[in-house]
Amino acid sequence: MLNRLLALILLIGISPLLLIISFFIFIDDGFPILFTQKRVGKDYTFFKMYKFRSMKKNTPNVATHLLKNPEQYVLKAGKIIRKLSFDELPNFINILKGDMVFVGPRPALYNQDKLMALRVKHGIEKLKPGLTGWAQINGRDEISNEEKVTLEVEYLNKKSVRLDVSIFFKTFTSAFFGKNKGVTH
């Protein structure tokens, strides 16, 4: 419940920022402002994850690294939205709904079978996915699936409120100072 309450408070607190981001996306490429992606949740269930749309309407709904010339799809506002990880702010809705928590393994795309096989092998699928996690502040998308799962196992074994708070605040350092800035979609 603490995750849900904090998500509600943050959504209300950042609502002016959400409106500004929405305005710039609308000016760039109209509606819709948000998009959803099928993601893997706790116990290998599926849910729709909300994100701000940082790419044009005609962009295939796949991981950015699978696109040929992904830059052609990025909106003008999308470059800034992605650089600051603002595209992830609507994840607070998923936290409010109970699909996610603030800290845990990032939810895999429904078709990331290799990553999910590794997570299942090591028991990571038992964790609720998070807005941020140990792997995000230690490499994000620049690390292999194996390295990501190794970090997630480390997190699982050390999981505590203190570690979660530390990861949460280190995420902001990474987002605003450009460390570990992989491209996600």
pLDDT digits (tens, 9 = 90+) for 55-91: 999 898 777 778 889 899 999 999 999 988 899 999 9
Q: Rounded to whole angstroms, how far apart are CA atoms 58 and 97?
A: 28
Tokens matching residue 75:
């909106």
| Whether pLDDT at 159 is above 80 | yes
Q: Give the rounded distance of the alpha carbon of 52 from its chain centre.
A: 11
Residue 175: what pLDDT?
63
Residue 178: what pLDDT?
57
Residue of 68, 66, 88 whose CA lies nearest to 78: 88
| Whether pLDDT at 184 is above 70 | no
Residue 155: what pLDDT?
97
Q: Rounded to whole angstroms, how far apart are CA atoms 126 and 180?
A: 26
pTM: 0.88
| Whether pLDDT at 183 is above 70 | no
Mean local confidence (pLDDT), 40-46: 97
Q: Tell the burial category of 9 from Cβ atoms under 10 Å away from its Cβ (0-12, 13-18, 19+).
A: exposed
CB atoms under 10 Å from CB of 104, counted, come to 24
Q: Tell the burial category of 40 from Cβ atoms under 10 Å away from its Cβ (0-12, 13-18, 19+).
A: buried
Which amino acid does the sequence have at 175?
A: A
CB atoms under 10 Å from CB of 168, counted, come to 17
Tokens matching residue 47:
């849910």
Contact 32, 162 (CB under 8 A): no
Domain ranges of the chain: 2-177
Return the residue matching tokens 């203190």. Answer: 162
Task: Check whether the bond before 32 is cis (ω within 30° of 0).
Answer: yes
- DSSP per residue, 125-162: GGSPPEEE-TTGGGTGGGS-HHHHHHHHHHHHHH--HH
